[in-house]
Structure 1
C-alpha cells in the first residue's frame, strides 16, 4: 500500500479540487436562486449540486492518475473488507449514541426527545421509503465523500497533520454549503445566520475530525466515510433550542478533545499513511 499511496499523493491537486467542487455546486445552486423552476425539480437540482466534490474527485482521479491508483481509489469506495467489524459497529452506533446522550442531558434542562416515528414522518408507502433512502444516501454521503475524504483529505493531513488538516477541510466544507442558506426549503435556510449557524459550523468541523479518525483507522476507506456520513445525517438532532444546541456542542467538543489526545499518543499521521 505504501507505493500505491505515494503514487496517488503526487498527482493530487487539492486547490484544483476545491475550485472544481465549488464551481460546479455553486453554479447549480446559483441557478436555483436565479432561475424560477417547478417545485418538482427543486430537490433533484439541489441534490445534483451536492455532487460537486464527488464529480471533481472522479474527474481528477480518472484524468491524472495511473491505472493502479484509479484501481486503489475505486477499491476504497467499494471494498467491504477494509473496514473491520469493530469499526462497522462504531460507524453504525456512534452518532445514534451521541443523539441519545445529548437528548438525555437535554431532558434535565426541560428539553424532550422527538418521537422516533418523527424521523419517518410522511413515509406512508414503500415507494416513499425508497425515495427517502435514496435521498439520504445520495444527497450527502455519495455526493460528497468521494471528494472530501476520498481525494482531498490525504494531501491536507499529509501537509498539516490529521487535526489541522481536518479543521482546514471542515472550513472549506462550511463555505461550500453557504449558497444553501439562501435557498428556501433547505435545512440550512431554516437555520439562518444566528446561533444555529455557528453551532452547525462547529458540527461540520467536528464531523471532519471524526471522519478523519475513522478514515485513518479503516485503511483509508471511502466507503467508511460514506456510511458514517449517512449515520450522521440519520441521527442529526433538529429544531433544537439554544440550550439544546449548546449541550450537543459541548458533547461534540469533548469527543474532539478525546480524539486529539489519542492522536498525540500515536505516531504522526504521515507515518500512519505511509504504512497503510
Structure 2
C-alpha cells in the first residue's frame, strides 16, 4: 500500500475532486432547473450522477495500481467466500434490527404512523408480487453498487493508510454526506427537503456513524466490497420501508451513533476497526 500511495495521482484527494465534479455536473443542473427525478430525464441525470464513485473507483484503480491490484479489486467485489458466515448475518440483519428498534421506540410517543406506513407498503408488495423484484433491483442500483465500487472499493484503503480507521471513517462520512447535497434540492427525490429541515441535519449527523459501521464490517471481511454493497443495500432497503416519520428518523440516528460508539469503545479507539490495508 505504501508503494501505491507514492505513485502520482494515487491518493484520495484527486479521486474525490473528480467524483464530486462528475456527480454534481448532473445533479446540480437538474436541481437548479426543477427537473423531477420522477421523469425520464430526471432519472437519467440521477443515474449518471450516481456513476461518479464507480467510475472513479475503477478508473483510479486501473490508473494507479498494478495488474495484481486490478484482480484484487474485482475479487473483493465478487468473492463471496471472503466474508465469514457470522459477518453475513451482521451485514444482512444490522440495519433491519436497528430500524425495528427505532420504530418500536417511536410507538409510545404516538408514532404509530411508521407501523401503518410499513404495513401499507408490505401489503402493496404482497398484493402485486411482480413489483418486488424491480423494487429490489432499483434499490441495489440507486446507491449500493455504483457508490461502493468507489467509496469502499477504492477510497477507504487510502484514507485508512493515512489516517487510521476511525479518522478515515469520519472524513469519508463527511464527504459522503456533502456529496449527497444536491439531492436535497432535486425535485421528486426522497431527499428533496432542503437544508433547513430536520431530515437534512439528521442525515448529515447519521452519515458519519454509519460510515464507521461500514468500515468495521469492511475490515473484518477482508476488505470485501461485496460486503459493503450488501450492507448499503440492506440499510437503504430497510430505511425505505421503516424510516417514515420524524420519530423513526430521530431514533434511528441516535441508534447509529450509539452503535458506532459501541464499536469504537468495545475494541479501543486505536484498534476498534481492524483489518488489512492491502
Kindly indicate whether residue 190 of structure 2 is the aligned counterpart of residue 187 of structure 1: yes
**Residues 63-101 of structure 1 deviation map (CA, whole Å, 9 limit, x = unaligned):** 221100100111001110110110001111110001111
Residue number among 23, 30, 33 corresponding to 1:32 in the alignment: 30
Kindly report the root-mean-square deviation, in angstroms, between the aligned alpha carbons of the 2 structures: 2.5
How many correspondences in the alignment? 269
Secondary structure of the corresponding residue to residue 81 of structure 1: helix
Offset at residue 28 of structure 1 (A): 1.3
**Residues 81-129 of structure 1 deviation map (CA, whole Å, 9 limit, x = unaligned):** 1101100011111100011111111112121223345157478756643
* Distance across 1 between alignment mates of 2:193 and 2:135: 20
Q: 1:266 to 1:170 in 2, by over 3 A?
A: closer
Paired position in structure 2 for 1:55: 55
* Distance across 1 between alignment mates of 2:228 and 2:71: 18
Paired position in structure 2 for 1:210: 213
Paired position in structure 1 for 2:93: 93
Residue number among 144, 147, 151 corresponding to 1:148 in the alignment: 151
**Residues 41-72 of structure 1 deviation map (CA, whole Å, 9 limit, x = unaligned):** 32232022111111111111112211001001
How high is the TM-score relative to the length of structure 1?
Answer: 0.88
* Distance across 1 between alignment mates of 2:230 and 2:185: 28
Paired position in structure 2 for 1:16: 14
Secondary structure of the corresponding residue to residue 149 of structure 2: helix
Q: 1:195 to 1:35 in 2, by over 3 A?
A: closer
**Residues 203-238 of structure 1 deviation map (CA, whole Å, 9 limit, x = unaligned):** 211211100000000000000000000000011143
**Residues 128-167 of structure 1 deviation map (CA, whole Å, 9 limit, x = unaligned):** 4333222111110011001111111112122221111101
For 1:84-123, what aligned pairs fall within 5 Å after superposition?
84-112=84-112, 113=115, 114-118=117-121, 121=124
Q: Which consecutive unaligned segments of at least 5 residues does structure 2 have?
A: none
**Residues 166-187 of structure 1 deviation map (CA, whole Å, 9 limit, x = unaligned):** 0110110011011111111111
Paired position in structure 2 for 1:137: 140
Offset at residue 265 of structure 1 (A): 7.0
Offset at residue 10 of structure 1 (A): 4.5
Bigger shift: residues 229-238 or 207-216: 229-238
Kindly indicate whether residue 157 of structure 2 is the aligned counterpart of residue 159 of structure 1: no
Paired position in structure 1 for 2:267: 263
* Distance across 2 between alignment mates of 1:199 and 1:54: 26
* Distance across 1 between alignment mates of 2:75 and 2:91: 19
Q: Which consecutive unaligned segments of at least 5 residues does structure 1 have?
A: none
Paired position in structure 1 for 2:245: 240
* Distance across 2 between alignment mates of 1:199 and 1:36: 24
Secondary structure of the corresponding residue to residue 175 of structure 1: helix
Offset at residue 33 of structure 1 (A): 3.5
